[in-house]
């Protein structure tokens, strides 16, 4: 289980070009040495040794993560193909029911963040089937593997520092499991986004993106607001809030699907 607290501490991040930076690699052979080198780098950047030791003691090279990272073929599909593969019509049908049965929650979220139910439900449905499957990969191993992998090492090294921050606060368990790239919770936040945008949506004093749909959806709305969402403006392609959807996922077909599904759920 994953529970993210509101966090104020930050870890400084030194780029891969610094003297203490661990060198990336493209296969499993160099991963153990990289982990040991990263321990030194993290310590040089002010991360407590106890946190690094606890977090990295549980990691291993994730071939499943690398396979998923190299095989994201669905983002190359046409819009119609993507909708069919993702079950777009089912998400619309179930999403309308979800909106109705959680009307008070969505009203509170929209009042606070300015984001209507439609795009939130579209993301929720496409990411995890409304929380029915959150992923099975070991979160810390997934993030560490991608931090080591040369393809996007700097980006995921920052995610690893964020994950260490969550471990240090007691917010991320060492055995936590999620999606293949280290995404967490019902709408699949990367660790850095948990730190930046995770909020308490149900008022229980903590942020739990796994067990609380209110927290997950309010955090998603907060993410969109943080990426330029303007209350009352449209979110279809060419409209002001489409840029916020682009912030959620870089694939244009995914952005279009959020906009299309969201509009049908919102009755536009």
Q: Which of 19-23, 108-112, 189-193, 233-237 has the lowest mean pLDDT?
A: 19-23
pTM (two decimals): 0.87
* Residue 50 Cα to chain centre, angstroms: 26
Residue scoring higher pLDDT (2 or 240)? 240
Cα(68)–Cα(157) distance, integer angstroms: 18
pLDDT of residue 183: 97
Strands 137-138 and 177-178, by their bridges, are antiparallel
The model's confidence at residue 73, banded by pLDDT at 50, 70 and 90, is: low
DSSP SS3 for 2: strand
What angle is formed at CA 44 by the lines to CA 41 and CA 46, rounded to 5 degrees?
115
Radius of gyration of the chain (CA): 19
Residue scoring higher pLDDT (206 or 7)? 206
Q: For tokens 């310590």, what's the residue? A: 43
Q: Which of 1-5, 40-44, 253-257 has the lowest mean pLDDT?
A: 1-5
Q: For tokens 């977090």, what's the residue? A: 55
Q: What are phi and psi of 137, to 5 degrees?
A: -85, 145
Structure tokens of 223? Answer: 């993410």
The tens digit of pLDDT for each residue in 211-243 reads: 999 999 999 999 999 999 999 999 999 999 999
The model's confidence at residue 70, banded by pLDDT at 50, 70 and 90, is: confident
Q: For tokens 């400084």, what's the residue? A: 12
- Asked if 265 and 117 count as a contact pair (C-beta separation under 8 A), the reply is yes
Q: Which of 3-17, 23-37, 127-141, 217-231 has the lowest mean pLDDT?
A: 3-17
Query: Is residue 16 scored above 70 in pLDDT?
Result: no
The single-letter DSSP state of residue 29 is G
pLDDT of residue 7: 39
SS3 string of 137-166? Answer: EEHHHHHHHHHHEHHHHHHHHHHHHHHHHH
């Amino acid at each position: 289980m994953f529970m993210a607290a509101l966090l104020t501490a930050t870890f400084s991040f030194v780029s891969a070009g610094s003297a203490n930076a661990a060198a990336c690699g493209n296969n499993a052979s160099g991963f153990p040495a990289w982990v040991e080198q990263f321990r030194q780098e993290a310590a040089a950047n002010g991360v407590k040794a106890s946190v690094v030791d606890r977090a990295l003691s549980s990691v291993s090279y994730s071939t499943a993560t690398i396979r998923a990272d190299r095989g994201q073929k669905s983002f190359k599909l046409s819009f119609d193909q993507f909708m069919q593969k993702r079950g777009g019509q089912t998400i619309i049908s179930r999403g309308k029911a979800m909106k109705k049965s959680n009307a008070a929650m969505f009203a509170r979220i929209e009042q606070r963040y300015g984001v209507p139910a439609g795009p939130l439900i579209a993301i929720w449905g496409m990411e995890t089937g409304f929380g029915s499957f959150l992923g099975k990969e070991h979160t810390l191993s997934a993030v560490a593997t991608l931090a080591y992998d040369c393809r996007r090492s700097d980006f995921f090294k920052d995610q690893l520092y964020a994950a260490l921050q969550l471990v240090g606060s007691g917010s991320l368990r060492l055995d936590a499991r999620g999606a293949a790239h280290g995404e967490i919770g019902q709408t699949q936040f990367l660790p850095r986004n948990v730190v930046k945008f995770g909020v308490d949506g149900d008022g229980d004093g903590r942020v739990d993106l796994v067990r609380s749909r209110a927290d997950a959806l309010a955090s998603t709305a907060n993410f969109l607001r943080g990426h330029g969402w303007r209350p009352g403006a449209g979110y279809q392609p060419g409209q002001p809030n489409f840029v916020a959807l682009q912030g959620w996922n870089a694939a244009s077909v995914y952005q279009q699907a959020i906009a299309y599904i969201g509009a049908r759920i919102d009755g536009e």
